[in-house]
Chains A and B, each alone.
Chain A
């Protein structure tokens, strides 16, 4: 079974631009979460989607948004990029069933650099 895939793997943007990142979960997984990882900060929770609905979101400004499609693929968008948005963006999917509700499977991430 294929793992979680994220595209693109690397991205360089300039301040003020917007960016869209894509995530394809493991087949059959309906929950997709997004995280931002920066040095020393660990993984910061952005939002979680299940069956095309955002069920929860973290403490990020409205410039960060996302969506999920009927095939469970998800995208996140960051508008008006700032230097501080430079980070590794990780997507994780979950089967969200039974005892394995909380186990998440991560993609390799998208490294975003804002100049």
Chain B
């Protein structure tokens, strides 16, 4: 039962262009949505988050959009840089019935110079 889905295993983008990573979820109980970035041999690092009561949050080159009716969120990276090449995990969290975070399978982003 995958409650959080990232349907694109990989994405390749030219340096300077926009990267759009997508994520879908199935359960309305989630209070917060987060994106994490992971490099090889390291644990994931927090990137950006959005509350379920908002539809957009921006932090520098990174913007997360939330469409609650479609149960869909996306991460936009503008402009993309080679250092952004990593695996990006979408995550959904709730504190109802105990703190729990569900992660997607990840999308590997390649930014070509």
Interface residues of A (CB under 8 A from B): 4, 31, 33, 35, 40-45, 48, 50, 55-56, 58-59, 90, 92, 94, 96, 101-109
Which of B1, B34, B102 is A45 in contact with, Cβ under 8 Å? B102
Tell me, in angstroms, the Cα distance from A31 to B104 when the chains sit together: 21
Some 11 contacts from A to B, beta carbons below 8 A apart, are A33-B101, A42-B103, A42-B105, A45-B102, A48-B99, A92-B43, A94-B99, A101-B95, A102-B49, A106-B36, A106-B44
Query: Knowing A33-B101, A90-B44 touch, does A102 contact B106 (C-beta < 8 A)?
Result: no
Which of B34, B44, B45 is A102 in contact with, Cβ under 8 Å? B34
Query: Knowing A43-B89, A48-B99 touch, does A108 contact B49 (C-beta < 8 A)?
Result: no
Are B99 and A56 in touch, CB under 8 angstroms? Answer: yes
Are A40 and B105 in touch, CB under 8 angstroms? Answer: yes
Are A107 and B43 in touch, CB under 8 angstroms? Answer: yes
Which of A41, A56, A90, A96 is B98 in contact with, Cβ under 8 Å? A56
Which of B42, B100, B105, B106 is A56 in contact with, Cβ under 8 Å? B100
Query: Knowing A35-B103, A48-B98, A50-B99 touch, does A42 contact B89 (C-beta < 8 A)?
Result: yes
